[in-house]
C-alpha cells in the first residue's frame, strides 16, 4: 500500500540490524536483548524499495504488549486509510495491482467488512471440513515418505515439508493434481523487497488470477465438492463473495496455506533433532504430539512478526511516543519466549503446560487456517518419526543455512539421514 510521508519523533541509530540476514541467523538472541533493553523499539526503513514497506516501525517484544496491540483494534488498525487523512495520499504513486488485490483480503480489512468475509470463509472452511481431511493428510504423508524411505537421506524441505501442505491446500481448494505446481510457481511466498521481486510477484499473481477466474467460471457452471465451490456458494446475511473477494481470499489461502506449515514442519524437525531427549520422548509417546506441536509453534514460530498494523491515534507505550501513521509490528517470536509469561522460555519442552503462545495471533485477526495447520502437523510428525528411524541431520549443525524473507525465517534446506 502506498503510504504518505509522516513526521515523528527522532529515532536512534539501530542497535539491532533487524532487516538484515545477519540478524536472522540468530534472531532469538536479538529479540531477547531487545525485550530486555528496549521492549518497544523504533526502527526507520527509509530506503525500503517499495512504498508499502517504507516508514517508521515499532517492534513490540514483550508478551503482554503484543497481546494488547493485537487485541486493540481501535488504536492499531489493518487498514492504512484509518491511520491517515485523505489529503495525505494526494500525489502518492498508485499501489501495485497485487497490493491492491491483497488489501481486499480479510487479513487487511476492518470491521464490519472483516467480520463479513470471515463469516463467509468460516462457513466454507468449517471444523467438520478440516476434520474430514485427516485421512487424506495421512495418505499424502505416507506417499511422500514412500518415495524417499529407501534412499537413506533427503532434503526434507523439498521432498516432504513443502509438498505436503501445498498438496493439502491445493486439494482442499480443488486444483487438479497436474496443476499443483502452479501454486509454487505463481503464489507470492513472501513480501518482495526490491522492484525486481515486486515485478516477479506481480507476474505470478497475474497468471494465478487468470487461472482462478477461469476456475470460478467452471465451478459456477459445474459445482464440485471443494473449497472454491464452497466459497462461491457461501452466503451470510444475504451476501456472497464478489469475484475480487474470491480472488483475494484464494490468494491468501494459497500463499499462507503452505508457507507457514512448511516452516513449522522444518523448524519442528530441526528442534527435535537438536534436542534428542525430546525426540526420543515423542517417538516413545506419540500421544504427546498435540503438546509437541504447540511447543514447536512457541519455540520457533513460522513467522516472527504479526502482520502489519498502523497506529490510528497518538499514544504512549512504555515511555515511547507512537504517532498516528506509524507502523506497528508485534514480534510474536519474542513474545513466545518472554520469561514473564513462559518459565525457562528457551528450553524446548514438548510437555510444557499452560502454553498460550501467539504464533497464530490472537483476537479479531486470529489465523482462520490454524485448525488445518495444527491437524497437518499433528498427523505429519508421528508418521515422519515412525517411517524414518534414527532420523538425524546429514550435515554438521553449524552448516544449517537460513533464507532471509522478512518476516519469515525459512530454512534453505534440511538435509537429513536415517537408518
- What whole-number distance in Å separates Cα of residue 342 and Cα of residue 336? 7
Contact 145, 388 (CB under 8 A): yes
User: Angle formed by the axes of helices 243-274 and 370-387, to 10°?
Assistant: 40
For residue 361, is it left (φ>0), alpha (ψ between -120 and 50) or beta?
left
| Residues 29, 375: Cα–Cα separation, whole Å | 30
pLDDT of residue 90: 75
CA distance readout (Å), 324 to 74, 84, 93, 339: 12, 7, 21, 31
Query: Which cell numbers in the block locate residue 42?
Result: 523504533
Q: Please, what is the end-to-end C-alpha distance for the chain in angstroms?
A: 50
User: Would you state the pLDDT for residue 142?
Assistant: 98
Which pLDDT score is estimated for 235? 66
- Contact predicate 325/84, CB 8 Å: yes
The DSSP H or E segment spanning 259 is helix 243-274
State how far the Cα of 247 lies from the Cα of 98, in Å rounded to an integer.
11
* Of 164, 100, 161, residue with least CA distance to 133: 164
According to CATH, the superfamily of the domain at 21-417 is Cytochrome P450 (1.10.630.10)
Pairing mode of beta strands 315-317, 327-330:
unpaired
Residue 313 CB contacts under 8 Å (≥ 6 apart), including other chains:
74, 75, 324
Inter-residue long-range contacts of 174-180, CB under 8 Å, 24+ positions, other chains counted = 174/215, 174/219, 174/224, 174/226, 174/227, 174/228, 174/229, 175/215, 179/211
**For residues 263 and 302, what is the distance between their CA atoms, to the nearest angstrom?**
5
pLDDT at 55: 56
What per-residue confidence (pLDDT) applies to 12?
47
Per-residue pLDDT of the chain (419 residues; tens, 9 = 90+): 455 544 444 444 557 777 777 888 889 999 999 999 999 998 765 444 334 444 578 999 999 999 999 999 999 999 888 888 888 777 777 777 777 777 777 888 888 888 888 887 776 667 887 888 899 999 999 999 999 999 999 999 999 999 999 999 888 889 888 888 777 777 766 666 567 777 888 888 889 889 999 999 999 999 998 889 988 887 655 677 788 888 888 888 877 778 889 999 999 999 999 999 999 999 999 999 999 999 999 999 999 999 889 999 999 999 998 988 888 999 999 999 999 999 999 999 999 999 999 999 998 888 888 888 999 999 999 999 999 999 999 999 999 999 877 677 889 999 999 98
Please tell me the total number of residues recorded for the chain in this structure.
Answer: 419
255 three-class SS:
helix
pLDDT of residue 185: 77
Helix or strand run (H / E) with residue 197: helix 195-221
Beta bridge partners of 43: 57
Q: Which residues contact 163 (CB under 8 A, 6 or more apart)?
A: 144
Count of CB atoms situated within 10 Å of the CB of 359: 25
**β-pair partners for 328:** 58, 309
Between the CA atoms of 404, 406, 407 and 412, what dihedral angle is there, to the nearest 10 degrees?
-20
Give the model's pLDDT for residue 109.
Answer: 81
Q: pTM for the whole thing?
A: 0.90
* CA torsion through residues 208, 210, 215, 216, sign: positive
Q: What pLDDT does residue 251 have?
A: 82
The CA R_g of the chain, rounded to the nearest whole Å, is 21
Beta-bridge partner residues of 236: 239
Element (H, E) at 279: helix 276-284
Give residue 50's pLDDT.
Answer: 36
Amino acid at each position: 500500500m502506498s503510504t504518505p510521508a509522516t513526521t515523528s519523533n527522532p529515532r536512534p541509530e539501530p542497535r539491532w540490524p533487524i532487516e538484515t540476514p545477519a540478524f536472522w541467523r540468530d534472531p532469538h538472541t536479538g529479540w531477547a536483548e531487545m525485550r530486555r533493553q528496549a521492549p518497544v523499539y523504533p526502527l526507520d526503513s527509509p530506503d525500503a524499495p517499495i512504498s508499502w514497506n517504507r516508514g517508521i516501525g515499532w517492534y513490540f517484544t514483550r508478551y503482554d504488549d503484543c497481546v494488547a496491540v493485537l487485541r486493540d483494534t481501535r488504536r492499531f488498525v489493518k487498514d492504512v486509510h484509518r491511520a491517515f487523512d485523505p489529503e495525505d495520499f494526494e500525489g502518492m504513486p498508485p499501489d501495485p495491482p497485487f497490493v491492491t488485490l491483497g488489501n481486499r483480503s480479510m487479513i487487511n480489512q476492518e470491521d464490519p467488512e472483516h467480520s463479513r468475509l470471515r463469516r463467509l470463509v468460516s462457513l466454507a472452511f468449517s471444523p467438520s471440513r478440516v476434520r474430514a481431511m485427516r485421512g487424506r493428510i495421512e495418505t499424502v504423508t505416507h506417499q511422500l515418505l514412500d518415495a524417499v524411505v529407501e534412499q537413506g537421506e533427503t532434503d526434507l524441505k523439498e521432498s516432504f515439508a513443502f509438498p505436503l501442505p501445498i498438496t493439502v491446500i491445493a486439494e482442499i481448494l480443488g486444483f487438479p493434481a497436474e496443476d499443483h505446481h502452479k501454486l509454487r510457481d505463481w503464489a507470492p511466498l513472501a513480501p518482495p523487497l526490491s522492484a525486481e521481486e515486486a515485478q516477479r510477484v506481480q507476474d505470478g499473481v497475474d497468471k494465478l488470477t487468470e487461472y482462478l477466474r477461469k476456475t470460478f467460471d467452471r465451478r459456477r457452471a459445474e459445482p464440485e465438492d471443494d473449497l472454491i465451490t464452497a466459497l462461491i456458494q457461501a452466503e451470510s446475511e444475504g451476501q456472497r463473495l464478489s469475484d475480487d473477494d474470491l480472488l483475494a481470499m484464494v490468494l491468501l489461502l494459497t500463499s499462507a496455506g503452505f508457507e507457514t506449515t512448511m516452516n513449522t514442519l522444518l523448524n519442528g524437525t530441526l528442534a527435535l533433532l537438536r534436542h534428542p531427549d525430546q525426540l526420543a520422548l515423542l517417538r516413545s509417546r506419540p500421544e504427546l504430539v498435540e503438546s509437541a506441536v504447540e511447543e514447536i509453534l512457541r519455540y520457533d514460530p513460522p513467522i516472527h512478526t504479526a502482520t502489519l498494523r498502523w497506529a490510528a491515534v497518538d499514544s504512549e507505550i512504555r515511555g515511547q511516543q507512537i504517532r498516528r501513521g506509524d507502523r506497528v509490528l508485534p514480534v510474536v517470536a519474542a513474545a513466545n519466549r518472554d520469561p514473564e509469561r513462559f518459565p525457562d522460555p528457551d528450553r524446548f519442552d514438548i510437555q510444557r503446560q499452560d502454553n498460550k503462545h501467539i504464533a497464530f495471533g490472537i483476537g479479531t485477526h486470529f489465523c482462520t487456517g490454524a485448525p488445518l495447520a495444527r491437524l497437518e502437523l499433528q498427523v505429519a510428525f508421528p508418521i515422519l518419526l515412525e517411517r524414518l528411524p534414527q532420523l538425524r541431520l546429514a550435515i554438521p549443525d553449524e552448516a544449517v543455512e537460513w533464507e532471509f524473507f522478512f518476516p519469515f525465517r525459512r530454512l534453505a534446506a534440511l538435509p537429513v539421514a536415517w537408518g
